[in-house]
């Protein structure tokens, strides 16, 4: 999309409903379904609590707990299309709202991923005192997961990063997102949300339906960490040099973070990770790959987790 392009909304005008959605008070039906099946857990910290959603598989596979970390301005709902496939293969599943996002409060002094690492480590040690976990992190959550595994290697037995920043190639990003908080009309705001989803998150714009927009808006409305900046550095690459467990990566082949530079991303990761399991690319998918192309994404992820 060009920066001056005005996008339409993929549903008819609904003055009251659009106002509710723009305020973040409408949620995806997929999210509501999985939320109703989850156990909600709040782990206390100095600023309030970190919230997790937990799903127990019908037939556990006996592997270590699987902890999912979402992307920036997001929540556990970034993983909504992964819950079913992961449960069906027996994974004990925990999806975190990172501190300052979703339903989780901001701990004192935390403004970016590096500040939340002690809070997340305390949470993991409290919930899983006798075992290590497997971390799968998307985007900002992938960067955070890498830093967490580097700083607290005794807590993590496997790391999979999905569409993660922190590679140090951000000067090559061509996308430009549109602001929305200043706009007076809800439908104007929603149009810019649709534009931003198409610019950064999803390569196939036909995926952007009313449920997708509702999920996205409910997340960005709750972002309490607007000053975060370290994702534009090479912080993940540097962290990988300290990670002791196996590391793998999955990216959409059309990820807007790294257009035409995924070869370089893979080279940098492979050069720094001690136990590198490789990068897989999902053809035709954008940044939010697990939502846009769930079948192909899980075909890549599930064998990694089984191994």
Residue 7's pLDDT band, with cuts at 50, 70 and 90, is confident
Q: What is the pLDDT of residues 183-227, one digit of tens each?
A: 999 999 999 999 999 999 999 999 999 999 999 999 999 999 998
The overall pTM is greater than 0.85? yes
Per-residue model confidence (pLDDT) at position 169: 84
Residues 6+ apart with CB under 8 A from 60: 90, 92
In contact, 86 and 93? CB cutoff 8 Å: yes
Buried b (16+ CB within 10 A) or exposed e, 99-132: bbbbbbbbbeebbbbbbbbebbbbbbeebbeeeb
Query: Residue range 36-51: average pLDDT?
Result: 98
Task: Look at strands 133-138 and 48-55 and give their pairing.
Answer: unpaired
Residue 132: is its pLDDT beyond 90? Answer: yes
Query: Residue range 123-140: average pLDDT?
Result: 97
Return the half-sphere exposure (C-beta side, CA atoms, 13 A cut-off) of residue 44: 1
Q: Which residue has the higher pLDDT, 173 or 247?
A: 247
């Amino acid at each position: 999309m060009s920066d001056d392009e005005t996008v339409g909304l993929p549903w008819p005008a609904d003055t009251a409903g659009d106002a509710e959605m723009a305020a973040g008070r409408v949620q995806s039906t997929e999210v509501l379904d999985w939320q109703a099946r989850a156990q909600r857990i709040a782990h206390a910290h100095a600023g309030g609590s970190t919230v997790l959603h937990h799903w127990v598989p019908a037939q556990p596979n006996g592997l270590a707990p699987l902890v999912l970390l979402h992307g920036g301005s997001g929540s556990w709902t970034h993983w909504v299309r992964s819950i079913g496939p992961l449960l069906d293969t027996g994974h004990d599943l925990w999806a975190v709202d990172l501190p300052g996002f979703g339903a989780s409060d901001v701990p004192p002094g935390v403004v970016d991923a590096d500040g939340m690492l002690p809070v997340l480590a305390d949470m993991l040690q409290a919930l899983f005192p006798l075992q290590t976990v497997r971390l799968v992190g998307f985007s900002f959550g992938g960067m955070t997961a890498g830093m967490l595994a580097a700083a607290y290697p005794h807590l993590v037995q496997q790391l999979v990063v999905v569409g993660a920043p922190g590679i140090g190639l951000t000067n090559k990003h061509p996308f430009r997102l549109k602001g929305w908080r200043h706009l007076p009309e809800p439908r104007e705001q929603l149009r810019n949300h649709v534009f931003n989803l198409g610019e950064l998150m999803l390569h196939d714009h036909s995926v952007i339906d009313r449920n997708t927009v509702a999920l996205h808006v409910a997340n960005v409305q709750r972002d309490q960490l607007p000053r975060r900046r370290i994702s534009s550095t090479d912080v993940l690459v540097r962290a990988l040099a300290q990670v002791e467990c196996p590391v793998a990566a999955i990216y959409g082949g059309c990820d807007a973070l790294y257009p035409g530079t995924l070869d370089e991303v893979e080279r940098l990761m492979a050069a720094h990770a001690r136990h590198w399991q490789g990068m897989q690319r999902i053809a035709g998918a954008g940044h939010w790959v697990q939502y846009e192309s769930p079948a192909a994404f899980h075909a890549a992820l599930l064998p990694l987790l089984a191994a």
